[in-house]
Amino acid sequence: QVQLVESGGGLVQPGGFLRLSCAAVGPTAGYGASAWFRQAPGKEREGVSCISSSDGSTYYADSVKGRFTISRDNAKNTVYLEMKNLKPEDTAAYYCAADPDYYCSDYELSSADFGSWGQGTQVTVSS
C-alpha cells in the first residue's frame, strides 16, 4: 500500500479558496486512481472527486461541480484539490484515498473501493 499525506486545510470565509495536497509515498507508478472524500460531523463519508492515473479521467460529486478541480503532478506523486467559492456546507475533514485498481467514471465514489487513506485535513468555511 501507498502512504498518503494530506495538507492545505484551514479556516476560510464563505466564497474563499483553498488548495488541498495529497503526497504519495511508496510504489505509485501505474496506480489506478486517487480520490478525495470528506466527512462532516454526524454525516457519512462522501466521495468528492476522483482522478485516474491512466488517462486523467475525473469524477465530481454534484455538490462540488463547477467549484472544485482535481489534478495531479506525476513527477511529484501529488494530487491536488482546488476548491473555490467555498460554502459553509463544505466544512468537513477531507481525506485523500488511492487504489491500484480503481478507474474514475460517472459512478458515485464508495470508500470501500479504496485501499489506501491519508490521515485527513480539516476544512472549515465560516465567517
Cβ within 8 Å of residue 91, ≥6 positions away: 40, 123, 124, 125, 126
| Span 70-102, pLDDT tens digits | 999 988 889 999 999 999 999 999 999 999 999
Is residue 12 within 8 A of residue 123, CB to CB? The reply is yes
pLDDT tens for the chain, 127 residues: list them.
Answer: 789 999 999 999 999 999 999 999 876 666 789 999 999 999 999 999 999 988 999 999 999 999 999 999 988 889 999 999 999 999 999 999 999 999 999 999 999 999 999 999 999 999 9
Question: In angstroms, how far is CA 2 from the centroid of its own chain?
Answer: 15
